[in-house]
Amino acid sequence: MNVVVVNDYDEMSKRAASIIASQVILNPKSVLGFATGDTPIGTYKELVKIYKEGYIDFSDVVTFNLDEYYSISKENPQSYNFYMKNYLFNHINVKDENIHMLNGMCDDIEKECTSYENLIKESGGINLQILGIGRNGHIGFNEPNANFEGVTHLVHLDKGTINANSRFFNSVEEVPTKAISMGIKTIMSVKKILLLASGIKKSEAVYHAVNGPITPKVPGSILQLHPDVTLILDKEAAYKIS
Ligand code: F6R
């Protein structure tokens, strides 16, 4: 694991955006995997800035997102579909037909998951996947005790994750209790991973993911076995490993 420690959230976001931009410049047909949540918002803002300055072209880029709440419509402002449009897709020249997001309102979950996995394979595989990490060590929505062999599937969210994500909703009761998420196997199949973490609240999860035993109890610990992972951590998130 390549661990980069930076001063703060802004520096983390700039570093991450420049890595994503380099990926697209070197391979304009890159397949990018995106995450949602608080952590990558600054990265997406930086990426939009770099795009507007004319340095990158997303017209041949293909995208996949890690997860989506179930069941929630893509028009719902709490959905990850909405989030991605709001923070990134509406501001860059990625083609609609190249954007792949899980449908949180699908009728047939199994079909949705299988077709998502197939689309990833047909695209040639994800070149660069952005990840955040949950306070409980989750990656995507693969909660503690996730199956390391799992592909895209329906997950039941942990109480802690529901509480943590309630900050985006009016009340904790409004937070969906389920989500569709790429599995650990899907994530481990990508070529390159960029994991971002900021703030003291993530330090414990980061510590266990980087230094702890590889265990389903901390899903992020599996990343120790991936051949190309870069972690960009701010000082607070990194303080237990440094
Ligand atoms: C989001 C995702 C989650 C988040 C994690 C951290 O698509 O898959 O694993 O990355 O919950 O969320 P934030 O960044 O809000 O702390």
By the 8 A CB rule, do 102 and 73 touch? no
Phi/psi of residue 72, each to 5°?
A: -150, 140
Name the residue range of residue 125's domain. 2-238
Mutational test site, ligand 1, from 12, 13, 34, 36, max ligand atoms within 8 Å of CB? 36
Give residue 23's pLDDT. 98
Q: Is pTM, for the whole model, over 0.80?
A: yes
Closest protein CA for atom 10 of ligand 1: 132
Residues with CB under 6 Å of ligand 1 are 35-39, 66-67, 132-134, 138-141
Token pair in block for residue 6: 């930076």
Mutational test site, ligand 1, from 63, 64, 66, max ligand atoms within 8 Å of CB? 66
Task: Flag whether pLDDT at 188 surpasses 90.
Answer: yes
CA 31–ligand 1 middle distance (angstroms): 20
Mean residue pLDDT of the chain comes to: 97
Return the number of other C-beta atoms located less than 10 Å from residue 75's C-beta. 9
- The residue assigned the tokens 């991973």 is 193
Give residue 3's pLDDT. 98
ipTM for the whole complex: 0.99
Give me the number of domains the chain comprises. 1
Q: Which atom of ligand 1 is nearest to the CA of 138?
A: 9
Beta carbons within 8 Å of 114's beta carbon, 6+ residues apart: 152
Token pair in block for residue 14: 């700039």
Residues of the chain with pLDDT > 90: what percent?
Answer: 98
What whole-number distance in Å separates Cα of residue 220 and Cα of residue 213? 10
Mutational test site, ligand 1, from 126, 141, 161, max ligand atoms within 8 Å of CB? 141
pLDDT in tens, 36-87: 999 999 999 999 999 999 999 999 999 999 999 999 999 999 999 999 999 9
Q: What is the mean pLDDT of residues 189-205?
A: 98
CA 74–ligand 1 middle distance (angstroms): 18
- The residue assigned the tokens 């998420």 is 181
CA 75–ligand 1 middle distance (angstroms): 20
What CATH code is carried by the domain that includes residue 58?
3.40.50.1360
Closest CA to 134 of 188, 204, 84, 185: 204
CA 140–ligand 1 middle distance (angstroms): 7
Return the number of other C-beta atoms located less than 10 Å from residue 69's C-beta. 25
Catalytic residues: 67, 136, 138, 143
Give residue 206's pLDDT. 98
Give residue 220's pLDDT. 98
pLDDT in tens, 86-105: 999 999 999 999 999 999 99
Task: Flag whether pLDDT at 199 surpasses 80.
Answer: yes
